[in-house]
Structure 1
Amino acid sequence: MFVLKKEKSIVTVSNDSFAWLLQIGMYVIGAILITQKSLFFAELIAITQAAGTITTPIFWFSNTLADIYSSKEIRQEMMEFLQSEDSQKREDFHSVIDKVEMKNVTFLMENKREIGPNSFILEKGNTYAMIGKNGSGKSTIYAALMLANNKYRGEILINGKNIQHLKKEGYFSQISAVTQNIKLYNGSVIDNITGFSSDVNEEKLRKIKKLFINEQDDFFSKEISSLSGGQKQMVSIARALYKDASFLIMDEPFSALDKVMEEVVLDYLLKIDDKIVLLSLHHYDQLVLDRFNDVVIIGERL
Structure 2
Amino acid sequence: MGLFNVTHPASFLLTGIPGLESLHPWLAGPLCVMYAVALGGNTLILQAVQVEPTLHFLSMLSFSDTAMSMATLPTVLRTFCLDARRIAFDACLIQMFLILSFSMMESGILLAMSFDRYVAICDPLRYATVLTNEFIAGMGLTVTARSFITLFPLPFLIKRLPVCRSSVLSHSYCLHPDMMKLSCADITINSIYGLFVLASTFGMDLLFIFLSYVFILCSVMAIASHEERLKALNTCVSHILAVLAFYVPMIGVSIVHRFGKQVPRYVHVLMSNVYLFVPPVLNPLIYSAKTKEIRRAIFSLKM
- Scaled by the length of structure 2, the TM-score of the pair is 0.23
- The structure in which a higher percent of residues are helix is 2
Q: Taking CA–CA contacts closer than 8 Å with sequence separation of 6 or more, which of the two structures ends up with the larger relative contact order?
A: 2
- The structure in which a higher percent of residues are strand is 1
- Scaled by the length of structure 1, the TM-score of the pair is 0.23
